[in-house]
Amino acid sequence: MQTRVALVTGGIGGLGVAICRHLARSGHRVVAADLGTNRDRVDAFLAAVADTDGAIGFEAVDVADPEACTALAARIDASHGGVSVLVNAAGITRDTTLRKMSLAQWDDVLRVNLDGAFHMTRAVVDGMAARGFGRIVNVSSVNGQTGQFGQANYSAAKAGLHGFTMALAREVASKGVTVNSVSPGYCETALVMAVPETVRERIVAGIPVGRLGRPDEIARVVDFLCSPESAYITGANIPVNGGYYMSF
């Protein structure tokens, strides 16, 4: 069987690296796509995944830029073949209360976290449908489900992302393409470590499991959804939050 190509946006970020590793372990040829502006960060990522025998590569992209997404999809198509698995994991925060939130803070978060998923998906979904197989996983957030103080922008984008998941899942189900969301809770990532310590401690105290999540604990769920055997799960949201938010 031909090796499936997996594209992970935010691929060198806190959750992205773990997702790339899990997808490589399950036999994918992985392209980690992320901003290439910080060369040290890219080099550190490449050094960290050097043990995967070339299964994980890097491509620079700004997911907020639709043309850059189209160009990236064309580059991967030419070099590795069409993308079978897309994980939209690129995400940023600009936390502040709405009364202080600037238009730029709103726009930055919406452009990356929500529009970015649209642009990247738009660039690869036709190929998936034509080949009769695709797996799309959108990394949403518990804060999209509950709302979070200081995150009107982020919560709106992450809730929007699951709406996007459900609508697209209906459109492409008959083409062998599944679309799902994974909603992580608070994990050991730079994004969460940037939350003021006192605020973070209060949040951790409210997590029944009693600790932050580990990126691997998110990545294994993403990898599970990307398997050909997960064909009957679509339009779903899988929360991985240590019990921080329970729903039916």
- Dig out the tokens for 236 from the structure: 């779903």
The closest residue (CB) to ligand CAA is 150
| Residue 147 phi, psi (nearest 5) | 75, 150
Q: State in angstroms the smallest separation of the CB of 24 from ligand CAA.
A: 24
Q: Which is nearer to ligand CAA, 55 or 161 (CB)?
A: 161
Neighbours of 72 (CB within 10 A): 25
The answer to whether residues 238 and 180 touch, using CB atoms and an 8 Å cutoff, is yes
Measured from the CB atom, is 16 or 150 closer to ligand CAA? 150
Nearer to ligand CAA, 91 or 134 (CB): 91
Q: At its nearest, how many Å lie between ligand CAA and the CB of residue 14?
A: 9
Sheet-wide strand order for 237-240:
56-60, 29-34, 5-9, 83-88, 134-139, 177-184, 237-240
- Is 154 tagged catalytic? yes
Q: How many helices (H) and strands (E) does the chain have?
A: 10, 7
Task: Point out the catalytic residue in the list 154, 186, 232, 245.
Answer: 154
Shortest approach of ligand CAA to residue 180 CB, angstroms?
17
Positions that interact with ligand CAA (CB under 6 A): 93, 95-97, 100, 141-143, 148-151, 154, 184-186, 191-192, 195-196, 199
Name the residue nearer to ligand CAA (CB basis): 73 or 192: 192
Q: Are 137 and 226 in contact (CB under 8 A)?
A: yes
- Minimum Å gap between C-beta 30 and ligand CAA is 23
Which residues are marked as active site?
A: 154
